A and B are shown apart, each in its own frame.
Chain A
Amino acid sequence: MRATLRIGLVLVLAIAVLAVPAAAQTADDLFDSSSVQDLRLLVNSRDWQELKDRFQDNTFFPAELAWRGLRQQNIGVRSRGLGSRNPVKPGLLLRFDRYASDGRFLGLRTLVLDNLTQDPSMMKEVLAMQLYRRLGLPAPREAFVRLYVNGALIGLYAVVEDIAEPFLQRTFGESGGTLYEYDWTFEYNFEYRGSTLENYTMFKPQTNTTQSTFDLYSPIERMVRAANDSSDELFPAAMAEFLDLQAFARYIAMDNFVSDDDGWLGVWGMNNLFLYRGQGSSRFDIIAWDKDYTFWRPTNDIFTRVDNSVLARRALAIPDVRQAYLDTLAAAADSAAEGQEGADAATGWLAREVERLYALIQPLAQQDTNKPYTDAEFEAGVGALRTFAARRSAFVRCSVANQSRPPVACN
């Protein structure tokens, strides 16, 4: 009898222990980049074919998501991306509130599945966002996933926390303000485009979308006007109403540290960012987005294209803002090199992280037959990242030091 009781007790405990992980899944678990998650989507085969055939459209299709024993019905899925749109390995946006306004998955309204088609190494996006977050900048959480659709492996993706209310709540402590996604349509470097508010619609509202054009765009027009038209003397005070210039300096410093060719100081003008104007505030915060066009040149000049941007040029002309910029570069260099043993750059955090991610995804990258790169190109991409990780911190430290000493050659 006692043995039976003991067995029963053990069984109850075992069930309780096994049940806890399923019940306790959180968004943190989903974005845990220490392992590759398996995401399984069910989409009617006709819808899936149409999504791929018409991958440039934003049409939502009903779907069901399964992850670690959790099953989420009634979700919407559509193709997403700008340059990354792909008919074979589509980038996907999952919306849990597409068909039910209160629909959530792990507290999230939306999830982005980045198809990693613009980066042969497939890890720049995840790596860059980790670095931004290490430096305390607002950036989404990300992790690698194996995506299956209707049981078939589609490939290696990055699951990206969408910039939406849950992210704002987590990052800023409130989500009632207005969020804008910068929608690249032409080369723009923060020049004043006149008082017509419709000229600023490349800042696309994502929340409070029913507000009037005036309420949505007037703050942006006034910020851009202040950035362009105020005198040098009045510039800091004029901008203070709209932007913490030191925070702005930290953001563009990170863009330059990771050698981002498609960020605020991008080759084709500013791109890949969100602005958030908090509830009851006139100030904007900048949120990093889509960092897969990064880690290009380890010896990238620390002031690359600063002069192209009206705002960056004028902000860095202010001594304490410039100092914040340099301090951030230095801090980024330190962070990337953290844990480095002596002169062995390969032992710094960034280099170690490249190796860790490589070990994590290399077998899966090879299995991913839908990726638009060969396995050799993948290896070459990772090799370039190793080089960047090995050299970037030293180069940036040297360049920053040159600002307060007679310059020496950095390499």
Chain B
Amino acid sequence: MTRLWLAALFCTCCVPLARAQAPAPPATPLRLTLPVPTTTDAPAAQLQGRWTPRPRITSGKNVSLELRAKLQNDGAWFNPVVDPEDEGFIWRRRRLAVRGEFFNRVEFEVEREFGDEVEPWRDVWANVKAHDLLEVRGGKFKLPFGLDNMTSSVEHDFIFRSLGTRAIAPGRDIGAMLHGEAARRRFTYAIGVFSGDERQVADSERFFDDDQGADSFGRTVSGRVTVQPLDGASSLPSGLRNLEIGASGAWSKVAEGLNSFKGNSVFGYDYFERVWVNGNRVRTGIDVAIVSGPGSLKAEWINASDERLGQGVDDGDLSNMFTRGWYVAGSWLVTGEDKEDTVSPKRPLLRGGVGAIEVAARYERMLLGSAADASEPAFDNPRAENLRRSQDAVLTVGVSWYLNRWLKAQGNAIRESFNDPTRTPIDGTATYWSYVSRLQLAF
């Protein structure tokens, strides 16, 4: 928590620092009157406020502050029902954030989750931009890893991120990151060093909150690059020109213990227990995305490899444990809007239209096991050389209804199928259906 406050303090301190380095603007009294006449001959600096797309006040081009909010209420129903308490409605996110920018050089964000009393602070960071190709960010924020992981929950085509992302991709952490872009985002990069997640691992609630990400343990180095290799190929169809390819990697050291990844179903039930690990944790991922007109196609593959040094019953080294996930997803705005991060209906509800409607489907698989010689017998025990593999295959079909640019309603039907009926939420039952709804207000 102290570090968070230090980060916030850092944001505050950045303002005068940036002011000192930027051309001195005229002194401006901070009043909420528009416009504000000055007593000098210098150009008038004005405080301006506006409500759309979100509440925002600006002072010329040098200062802007805006209020952001995410409210998401989810409902869930199951067949078969594993635990009746899982059914019903809950608040998934109740967040308020303040985001600001100074002199086009310094940005900051402070975001709080009001449904989490243990770790309420989400993004608390400051960013200094030296050049398009070189920005520095410090504070607490998401580690650069994966396409799905970096997509905001507000803008996601589905109610839940993919299982691979939820299980493997590192979540928020405190650290520092270099990032930048070149050639109008044909190339982007981000690489950072993070202090590591020291929280207790056996907390399925955290897994289920797919905004938190997986555990890192200890210092983590994480990075991601994206390229749009066909952007300049004017002879290709526009859809292909938008092709973006991403690659991610993360390295950390995992302390000896039952600290491996585990197999969690969409709703947090175990299908692969944690095993003993010790050594390096290497996470890698590649992803592709094409966004064209009203449609999008995305695919991602993520793999994590955990060393198990000295973890055999004879104290010998065991083969690495792997956690692997991939998905293929597509979406289509049937009302014809362009697929953008924030979909704006051409004809919002109550303003002559029905809003925008998007259909989406995703197929994904998760597999956990170890890279052992297949001739070794496979066992479930957490020190087995050959860990008996367990797989979860999930099909999600969904519809999103954008009532206007702030309100969205989503419905997902999720079919989840396990390859090992002895390691399922209900012993012997391999297939589960879940029906999930979300109402979202975000600005």
Interface residues of A (CB under 8 A from B): 42-47, 62-64, 73-74, 76, 98-101, 150
Contact = CB atoms under 8 A, between A and B. Distances in A.
B193 to A, nearest CB: 30
A44 B377 contact: no
A98 B312 CA distance: 17
Given A46-B256, A62-B384, A74-B384, A100 B313 contact: no
Contacts of B422: 101
B315 A99 contact: no
Contacts of A45: 315
A50 to B, nearest CB: 11
A100 B379 contact: yes
Contact of B380 (A44, A47, A63, A99): A99
**Which label, helix, strand, loop or mixed, suits the secondary structure of the B interface?**
loop
B383 A62 contact: yes
A99 B311 contact: no
Contacts of A63: 313
A73 B379 CA distance: 9
19 contacts: A42-B314, A44-B310, A45-B315, A46-B256, A47-B383, A62-B381, A64-B314, A74-B379, A74-B380, A74-B381, A74-B384, A76-B381, A98-B381, A99-B379, A99-B381, A99-B384, A100-B379, A150-B314, A150-B315
Nearest to A64: B313
A59 to B, nearest CB: 11
B377 A73 contact: yes
A346 B51 CA distance: 104
Interface string B375-403: 00101111110000000000000000000
A101 B422 CA distance: 9
Tell which of A42, A45, A62, A150 has the most Cβ of chain B within 10 Å.
Answer: A62
Contacts, number: 42
A100 B314 contact: no
A62 B380 CA distance: 10
A98 B379 CA distance: 11
B381 A44 contact: no
Interface of B: 256, 276, 310-315, 377, 379-384, 422
B380 A43 contact: no
A163 B268 CA distance: 36
B381 to A, nearest CB: 4
Nearest to B256: A46
A45 B310 CA distance: 9
A98 B384 CA distance: 13
Contacts of B315: 44-45, 150
Contacts of B383: 44, 47, 62
Tell which of B276, B311, B315, B381 has the most Cβ of chain A within 10 Å.
Answer: B381
A68 B80 CA distance: 48
Nearest to A63: B313
Given A44-B314, A99-B381, 18 more contacts: A42-B314, A43-B313, A44-B310, A44-B312, A44-B315, A46-B256, A47-B313, A47-B383, A62-B313, A62-B384, A64-B314, A73-B379, A74-B377, A74-B379, A76-B381, A99-B380, A101-B422, A150-B314
A150 B313 CA distance: 9
A73 B243 CA distance: 50
B285 to A, nearest CB: 31
Contacts of B312: 44
Contact of B382 (A43, A62, A73, A150): A62
Nearest to A74: B379
A63 B310 CA distance: 14
Contacts of A64: 313-314
A307 to B, nearest CB: 49
A47 B313 CA distance: 9
A44 B379 contact: no
Nearest to B275: A62
A76 B276 CA distance: 15
Nearest to B383: A62
B156 to A, nearest CB: 38
Nearest to B314: A42
B263 to A, nearest CB: 16
B256 A44 contact: no
B380 A100 contact: yes
Identify the 3 closest CB pairs spanning chains A and B, nearest first.
Answer: A62-B381, A99-B381, A74-B379
Contacts of A74: 377, 379-381, 384
B345 to A, nearest CB: 53
